[in-house]
Chains A and B, each alone.
Chain A
Amino acid sequence: MIPQLVTVGYRRPGGRWLRLYIPVVPVLLVLSPLLLLAVLAGLIACLVLRVSSVEALRGMQVSPVGALRGLGGLLWALPGSQLELEDGQTAFLIRVR
């Protein structure tokens, strides 16, 4: 399952927590037009430079399918991750659910 909610928190020296809850799917939906634009820009750049995007990855000896699968696997495995750092009155946390 892809991450649903990412929580980023920061506790200031005063002791007050500042928490940011990021719902991943809605944010991705909102940003999807930008992602689409970025992909299009990349493809246009490949066309202008007369470089095949697949060949560009192959030139680096990276399998495009393998790279996508690897990144997908990484994204899929993220839920449950947690990082909490606390030093005196300052603290920082990231939780992925």
Chain B
Amino acid sequence: MNEQRRQVLQMLAEGKITADEAERLIDALEREEPEAPAGAVSRSKARPKYLRVVMVDNSDGGGPSRINIRIPLQLLRAGVRLATLVPPQALTKINAELAKSGVPIDLTELKPQHIEDLIEQLDEVDVDINDPNTTVQVFCE
């Protein structure tokens, strides 16, 4: 749901406009919404295959430092499946050590399905950090 539609519904909920007015506004918004460009459609159809991490750091005088990592999303999924093989008693020990280190995370609560869902949503990830000397980009392609 886009922001304008949300605002119309908010106004309706607050009683500032009637249901008829809200319907007309939403119709008008739908008419105004531009057609998605062809490139965007093809991009949404072609699912990204790789997670890319690119970092360029020019802060050091001895030349630029670059990191360029490309990880197949399938590899992340395979890693998750492999991680599910970790025995429960090992997870308990890891939890205890994490708690001792001040990181109270219960890894037994982390279900494979949750991580699968997380990887599915990685398609949309786009992190772009621009510092005068450093650039970091995390995206899927």
A residues bordering B, Cβ < 8 Å?
60-63, 66-67, 69-71, 73-74, 76-89
- 13 residue pairs of the A-B complex, CB under 8 angstroms, read A70-B78, A70-B84, A73-B82, A74-B75, A77-B72, A81-B71, A81-B72, A83-B68, A84-B67, A84-B69, A86-B65, A86-B67, A87-B62
Residue of A nearest to B57 (CB): A87
Which of B33-41, B85-93, B121-129 interfaces with chain A? B85-93
Chain B, range 42-90, C-beta contacts under 8 Å to A: 49-50, 60, 62-72, 74-75, 77-79, 81-82, 84-85, 87-89
* Chain B residues whose CB sits within 8 angstroms of the CB of A80 once the complex forms: 49-50, 70, 72
Structural contact, A83 and B85, CB atoms closer than 8 A? no
**In the complex, what's the smallest C-beta–C-beta distance from B43 to chain A, in angstroms?**
19
CA gap between A39 and B115 in the complex, in Å: 34
B residues bordering A, Cβ < 8 Å?
49-50, 60, 62-72, 74-75, 77-79, 81-82, 84-85, 87-89
* Chain B residues whose CB sits within 8 angstroms of the CB of A73 once the complex forms: 77-78, 81-82
* Chain A residues whose CB sits within 8 angstroms of the CB of B70 once the complex forms: 80-83
Interface of B is mostly: mixed
Interface of A is mostly: mixed
Structural contact, A84 and B71, CB atoms closer than 8 A? no
* Chain A residues whose CB sits within 8 angstroms of the CB of B89 once the complex forms: 61
**In the complex, what's the smallest C-beta–C-beta distance from A26 to chain B, in angstroms?**
23
Given contacts A80-B70, A81-B72, A82-B70, contact A70 B85 (CB under 8 A): yes
**In the complex, what's the smallest C-beta–C-beta distance from B119 to chain A, in angstroms?**
12
CA gap between A79 and B72 in the complex, in Å: 8
Residue of A nearest to B87 (CB): A61
Q: A81-B72, A87-B63, A88-B62 are in contact. List 7 more A-B contacts (CB 8 A).
A: A60-B87, A74-B78, A80-B49, A82-B69, A83-B70, A88-B60, A88-B64
Q: Which of B67, B75, B85 contacts A77 (CB 8 A)?
A: B75
**In the complex, what's the smallest C-beta–C-beta distance from A82 to chain B, in angstroms?**
4
Structural contact, A62 and B69, CB atoms closer than 8 A? no
CA gap between A74 and B71 in the complex, in Å: 12
**In the complex, what's the smallest C-beta–C-beta distance from A56 to chain B, in angstroms?**
13
